[in-house]
C-alpha cells in the first residue's frame, strides 16, 4: 500500500465529420492503439502521465498532440476518474475533452495506431475508457440544450441549417427546422453577418457567427476572467 | 523533478443558515484551521491525502467527516486543481462539493479549529482555496438557474416561499414571488403534497417535495444509473 498513486491525463476529442456515403454528420473520436500490456492492441483514449513540471491542462494537450497530432482550440476538464480497481496499479486519470472543428482535424490522417472512430460504431476500449467516453457524450448531449457548445464543431461562419445539423448529430435525432430557428432566434447565441452562403446544392442562406460575448458554457476556473 | 506528484482531496460544503439577527438565509461553509506550515493558522477547506485503497469520493467523505464531523448525503466532484505552483511541492487536489440541509449540520458545533463562516465574510484562505471556493459559488449560482440543486439545502418538505428564499440566498438578490411561483409551476421540479405548513408567523402554505424522478443536475458518472 506504499506504492504512490500515479496521475495520468486522458482526452476525449469529439468531431463532427460527414459520413462518406450519406453526407450526414456523425460524431467521431480519435483513439490510440495500445503498444503494451495491459490491454495490448486494444484501442484507448489518447493520454499519458502528468509531468511534474506541467499543469494538468498542458499535460493533456501535450499527450494529445504527441499521440494524435490534434491541437484543439481549448480543452475543458471533464472529470477525474479514480476508482481503486480501474487499472492493475492505482492510477487516477484527469480527463479533458474538446470539440474540434474541421480545420483542426483536416491534417490528421488515419494511421495504423491512431484512428478516428464513429462513437456509435467503435471497438470495446481499454480500461474504463468506454465509461469515460459515454460520460463525455452524455455531458455533450446535456450541454447542447442550454449552451452554445455545438458551435464548437462549426467553422467561424455557418448557416442555421448547419448549426441545426450539428445539434441533430449530437442528439441523434432530427429537429424541426422552424422550431429550431425560432429557439435560436430567441437567444443571443448567434449573430447574423452580412454574408450569405454560396455554392452547394442549396439556395443562399444567411451566415451567422458565434456571439463572442458568451463563453462555450462552463469552461472551468481556467477560462479567461 | 523525480519527486512524485501527491494527490489530495478537498471539499467545499455549502449550507444555508438563518442569520441570527435578521433571520435571512445566508450561505455558510465550514473551514479548518491549519495546524502546520505552510499557512500555519490560516483557514483552509477541509481535506486530506487520497488513500491508496480508497476511491476519490470515499477519501473526500472520510477527510470531511474526520475534520468537521459533516456527513453530506452526496458529494459531487467539482474540479481537479493542479497548477504547478499551487503549493510548495506538487500537489493535485480533486475537489468535491456538497450542499447540506439543516439536519446534516445541526450536530456540528463551532470549534477552535473548525468554524462555519459566511462565504461573503470570511478570512483569506490558504493556498488557492479562495479561488476554489469562488469557483464552487459560481457553479452553484449557475446551476440554480437550470436545475433543482437549490432543493439540496431544504428539508424533505418545504413551501414555495422557502424554496424561493434558498434561491435568493444563492443568487444574492430578491426574486419576485409571483414570477418565481409561475416559473416553478411550469417545471416538474417539485410535487405538491397534501400537507400544509403549520406554526410560525405566516398563514399555512402548501408543502412541496422534490421530484425523485429528477437528479440534482449533473452528479457525475458516479451517480446511480
Residue of chain A minimizing CA distance to B58: A83
**Quick one: pLDDT at residue B223?**
38
Please state, for a pLDDT cut of 70, what percent of chain A lies above it: 88
Record the cell numbers describing residue A199, joined without a space.
455554392
**Quick one: pLDDT at residue B222?**
41
> B186-206, pLDDT tens digit by residue?
788 899 999 998 866 778 899
By the 8 A CB rule, do A80 and A92 touch? yes
**Quick one: pLDDT at residue A106?**
45
**Quick one: pLDDT at residue B206?**
92
A chain contacts of residue B52, beta-carbon cutoff 8 Å: 1-5, 90
The Cα-based distances of B179 to B161, B166, B184 in angstroms read 12, 15, 9
A chain contacts of residue B77, beta-carbon cutoff 8 Å: 79-80
A55 and A161 housed in the same domain: no
**Quick one: pLDDT at residue A103?**
53
A140 and A184 housed in the same domain: no
Record the cell numbers describing residue B106, joined without a space.
445541526
- Are B139 and A218 in contact (CB < 8 Å)? yes
- Assess B122–A contact: CB distance below 8 Å, yes or no: no
By the 8 A CB rule, do A40 and A46 touch? no
Enumerate residues 81 to 120 of chain A having a beta carbon within 8 A of any beta carbon in chain B: 81-84, 90, 92, 94
Assess whether pLDDT exceeds 70 at residue B10.
yes
Q: Which of A144, A162, A178 is the last residue of a domain?
A: A144
By the 8 A CB rule, do B126 and B41 touch? no
**Quick one: pLDDT at residue B23?**
81
B166 and B72 housed in the same domain: no
Strand partners, A99: A14
- Interface size A-B, in CB pairs within 8 Å, comes to 77
Q: Does A102 or B39 have the greater pLDDT score?
A: B39
Question: What integer is the mean pLDDT of B95-123?
Answer: 79
Strand partners, A7: A92
Reduce the DSSP state of residue B193 to 3 states and report it.
Answer: strand
Does residue A216 fall inside a structural domain?
Answer: no
Where is average pLDDT lowest: A132-136, A150-154, A220-224, B153-157? Answer: A220-224
> A84-118, pLDDT tens digit by residue?
989 988 999 999 998 887 655 544 556 789 999 99
- Assess B7–A contact: CB distance below 8 Å, yes or no: yes
**Quick one: pLDDT at residue A150?**
84
**Quick one: pLDDT at residue B109?**
58
Assess whether pLDDT exceeds 90 at residue B20.
no
Strand partners, B125: B43
Please state, for a pLDDT cut of 90, what percent of chain A lies above it: 55
Strand partners, A60: none
Residue of chain A minimizing CA distance to B91: A52
Q: Which of A144, A169, A196 is the last residue of a domain?
A: A144
| Chain B nearest CA to A211, separation (Å) | 19
Q: Does A42 or B101 have the greater pLDDT score?
A: A42
Strand partners, B114: B32
- What would you measure as the largest C-alpha separation in chain B, in angstroms? 67
**Quick one: pLDDT at residue B172?**
87
| Chain A nearest CA to B85, separation (Å) | 9
The total domain count for chain A is: 2
Q: Does B164 or B105 have the greater pLDDT score?
A: B164
A chain contacts of residue B55, beta-carbon cutoff 8 Å: 82-84
Q: Does A19 or A45 have the greater pLDDT score?
A: A45
Q: Does A147 or B91 have the greater pLDDT score?
A: B91
Does residue A220 fall inside a structural domain?
Answer: no
| Chain A nearest CA to B77, separation (Å) | 8
Please state, for a pLDDT cut of 90, what percent of chain B lies above it: 55
B90 and B163 housed in the same domain: no
The residue segments making up the domain with residue A194 are 149-210
Find the DSSP H helices in chain A.
56-68, 102-105, 129-144, 160-171, 177-185
Does residue A56 fall inside a structural domain?
Answer: yes
A123 and A19 housed in the same domain: yes
**Quick one: pLDDT at residue B126?**
97
- Assess A144–B contact: CB distance below 8 Å, yes or no: no
B78 and B172 housed in the same domain: no
pLDDT band at B18, cuts 50/70/90? Answer: confident
pLDDT band at A184, cuts 50/70/90? Answer: confident
Alpha carbon distance B159, B95 (integer Å): 32
- Assess A179–B contact: CB distance below 8 Å, yes or no: no
**Quick one: pLDDT at residue B105?**
54
Q: Which of A144, A169, A200 is the last residue of a domain?
A: A144
**Quick one: pLDDT at residue B22?**
85
- Assess B204–A contact: CB distance below 8 Å, yes or no: no
- Are B3 and A55 in contact (CB < 8 Å)? no
Nearest to B94, CA basis, from B108, B106, B81, B76 = B81
Does residue B224 fall inside a structural domain?
Answer: no
Q: Does B151 or A41 have the greater pLDDT score?
A: A41
pLDDT band at A1, cuts 50/70/90? Answer: very low
**Quick one: pLDDT at residue B24?**
83
**Quick one: pLDDT at residue A223?**
38
pLDDT band at B102, cuts 50/70/90? Answer: low
Residue B87 belongs to domain with CATH number: 3.90.79.10
Alpha carbon distance B16, B11 (integer Å): 16
**Quick one: pLDDT at residue A200?**
65
Assess whether pLDDT exceeds 50 at residue B106.
no
| Chain B nearest CA to A20, separation (Å) | 33
Most confident segment among A213-222, B131-140, B142-151: B131-140
- Are B56 and A1 in contact (CB < 8 Å)? no
Residue A181 belongs to domain with CATH number: 1.10.10.10
Question: What integer is the mean pLDDT of A178-195?
Answer: 88
- Assess A205–B contact: CB distance below 8 Å, yes or no: no
Q: Does B40 or B109 have the greater pLDDT score?
A: B40
Nearest to B124, CA basis, from B44, B16, B12 = B44
pLDDT band at A202, cuts 50/70/90? Answer: confident
B123 and B14 housed in the same domain: yes
A132 and A93 housed in the same domain: yes
A chain contacts of residue B53, beta-carbon cutoff 8 Å: 1, 84
Question: What integer is the mean pLDDT of B150-162?
Answer: 87
By the 8 A CB rule, do B192 and B186 touch? no
Where is average pLDDT lowest: A22-31, A199-208, B38-47? Answer: A199-208
Does residue A223 fall inside a structural domain?
Answer: no
Amino acid at each position: 500500500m506504499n506504492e504512490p498513486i500515479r496521475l495520468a491525463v486522458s482526452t476525449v476529442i469529439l468531431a463532427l465529420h460527414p459520413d462518406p456515403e450519406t453526407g450526414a454528420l456523425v460524431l467521431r473520436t480519435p483513439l490510440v492503439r495500445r503498444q503494451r500490456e495491459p490491454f495490448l492492441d486494444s484501442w484507448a483514449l489518447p493520454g499519458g502521465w502528468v509531468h511534474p513540471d506541467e499543469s494538468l491542462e498542458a499535460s493533456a494537450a501535450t499527450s494529445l498532440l504527441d499521440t494524435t497530432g490534434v491541437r484543439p482550440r481549448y480543452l475543458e476538464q471533464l472529470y477525474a476518474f479514480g476508482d481503486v480497481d480501474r487499472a492493475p496499479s492505482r492510477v487516477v486519470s484527469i480527463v479533458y475533452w474538446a470539440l474540434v472543428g474541421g480545420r483542426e482535424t483536416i491534417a490528421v490522417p488515419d494511421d495504423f495506431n491512431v484512428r478516428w472512430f464513429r462513437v456509435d460504431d467503435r471497438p470495446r476500449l481499454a480500461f474504463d475508457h468506454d465509461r469515460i467516453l459515454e460520460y463525455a457524450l452524455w455531458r455533450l448531449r446535456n450541454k447542447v440544450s442550454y449552451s452554445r457548445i455545438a458551435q464548437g464543431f462549426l467553422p467561424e461562419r455557418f448557416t442555421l441549417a448547419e448549426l441545426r445539423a450539428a445539434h441533430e448529430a449530437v442528439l441523434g435525432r432530427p429537429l424541426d427546422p422552424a422550431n429550431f430557428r425560432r429557439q435560436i432566434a430567441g437567444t443571443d447565441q448567434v449573430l447574423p453577418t452580412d454574408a450569405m452562403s454560396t455554392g452547394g446544392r442549396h439556395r443562399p442562406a444567411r451566415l451567422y457567427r458565434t456571439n463572442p460575448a458568451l463563453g462555450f458554457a462552463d469552461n472551468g476556473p481556467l477560462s479567461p476572467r
